[in-house]
């Protein structure tokens, strides 16, 4: 995915590698220097630094939140 990625809480992404539980969909729980993610399949929580996160994302599933909405 070229260019800097906009990341927001509750953003849903598909990662390049499947989690051992079989899901490849994750939801962002925290943004900043490190990105917090929770697996949609099993609820496992992980933290990735932003660079690692951007490398692993294959597809953004949810659309960006409306400007102005909290
Ligand atoms: Zn999982």
For the chain, the structural domain boundaries read 12-60
pLDDT at 66: 72
Distance CA 6, CA 31 (A): 10
Decide: 48 and 70 in contact? Cβ < 8 Å: no
* Ligand 1 midpoint to CA 56 (Å): 15
> 69: which residues sit within 8 A by CB, 6+ positions away?
none
Q: Which pTM value belongs to this model?
A: 0.85
pLDDT at 31: 95
* Ligand 1 midpoint to CA 27 (Å): 11
* Ligand 1 midpoint to CA 22 (Å): 7
pLDDT tens digits for the chain (70 residues)?
456 789 999 999 999 999 999 999 999 999 999 999 999 999 999 999 999 999 999 999 988 777 665 5
């Amino acid at each position: 995915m070229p260019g800097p990625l906009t990341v927001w809480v509750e953003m849903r992404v598909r990662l390049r590698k499947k989690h051992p539980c079989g899901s490849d969909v994750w939801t962002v729980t925290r943004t900043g220097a490190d990105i917090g993610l929770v697996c949609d399949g099993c609820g496992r929580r992980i933290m990735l630094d932003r660079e690692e996160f951007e490398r692993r994302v294959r597809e953004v599933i949810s659309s960006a939140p409306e400007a102005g909405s909290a």
